[in-house]
Amino acid sequence: MTTPTYSRSDFQTDQEVRWCPGCGDYTILAAVQGFMANMGVAREKIVFVSGIGCSSRFPYYMNTYGMHSIHGRAPAIASGIAATRPDLSVWVVTGDGDALSIGGNHLIHSLRRNFNLKILLFNNQIYGLTKGQYSPTSEVGKHTKSTPMGSVDYPFNPISLALGAESSFVARTIDMDRTHTTGILQAAYDHQGTAFIEIYQNCNVFNDKAFIQLTGKEEKAVNRIDLVHGKPITFGTAGDKAVVFEDGRCQVVDTASVDPARILVHDQQRADPTVAFALSRLSHGPYGPTPMGIFRNVARPTYETGMGLQLIDAQAKKGPGDLAKLIRSAGTWEINN
């Protein structure tokens, strides 16, 4: 079957896009639609599943199959789709509140199980849909409607969390950089297994300029650390800063002050996630020197593959299954009216 030739407009729907003017979600939507047009997959083979939140309107705006599901449960629902329909390209769209609060358990278990899912976590460090309460990624001291004296909660680092849950693909990008985002989406699609992408996304109404240190012209020049596989990690003005890994942690140094052999060469395919985790700890949010790109990309059998092999083995040993027999095999009774 020949895959149709698409343009971005083929992935746009007739639904009015209802986000606040200036929201970073618009840029992400455009990047995803543009990428999908060149992905080489028929629209009827693509599914978007979302939870609850501003980002979770996404399925309405993608001319593919989709489901606007329930709060925090999008990874669980998407896992079921991936398990039963391995022929589909399954994408999850969620937010920092949806995925890391009520949906925390569903997220970490989908990551460790390694279903063939692509999880896009829009992180604006605020609850936008419910009008500006602090979220699981809001910084300590954040003043919001629910924390008028400043948040005392210590926030999650989504990249560290994903690496700790043994995700086989972990990356970070930002809404304003469509080229970078498209490259990350392509790498995630090519990956067989769960791909977790944190996307820094500006909420210009309730948390404007939260990522200014990575988007401002002068600020990003000294703070953005681009991770490139196989390349020494340097950044800043003319590469004057570098990252070294020593004593189990990463730290930023002046490039001129160290032997070039000490500068960490990025290896996203390293089986042990220790160094990737150390990189994720360079910043606990978009403050100061912050790594962007793919932290980890390793091969591991998917859940669907293992489950499929078990089903083949069971059928070979015991023959076709009998669901009715299984249900009535033990512990059942009839109630007479």
Q: To which residue do tokens 């970078």 refer? A: 180
Report the C-alpha gap between 278 and 266 in whole angstroms: 12
Better pLDDT: 43 or 284? 43
**107-122 burial by CB neighbour count: b if 16+ within 10 A, else e?**
bbebbebbbbbbbbbb
Q: Can you say whether the dihedral through the CA atoms of 269, 275, 280, 283 is positive or negative?
A: negative
Is pLDDT larger for residue 249 or for residue 3?
Answer: 249
Q: How much is the pLDDT for 50?
A: 97
Query: Could you give all domains of the chain from N- to C-terminal order, each with its CATH number?
Result: 8-220+296-304 (3.40.50.970)
Residues 32, 46: Cα–Cα separation, whole Å: 12
Mean pLDDT for 323-332 is 80
Residues, the chain = 337
Cα separations in angstroms, 201 against 86, 122, 274: 30, 6, 27
Band the pLDDT of 1: cuts 50, 70, 90. low
Question: What is the Rg, in whole angstroms, of the alpha carbon atoms belonging to the chain?
Answer: 22
Question: What is the per-residue pLDDT for 139?
Answer: 93
For 61-98, what is each residue's pLDDT tens digit?
Answer: 999 999 999 999 999 999 999 999 999 999 999 999 99
Q: What is the mean pLDDT of residues 319-333?
A: 80
Would the CA dihedral through 78, 81, 86, 88 be positive or negative? negative
In what order do the strands lie in the sheet containing 46-50? 65-68, 46-50, 89-95, 117-123, 195-200, 169-174, 290-297, 224-227
What's the pLDDT tens digit per position in 156-188? 999 999 999 999 999 999 999 999 999 999 999
Q: How is residue 137 annotated by DSSP?
A: T
Residue 337 predicted with pLDDT over 80:
no
| CA separation for the pair 127, 138 (Å, rounded) | 9
pTM (2 d.p.): 0.93
pLDDT, position 2: 72
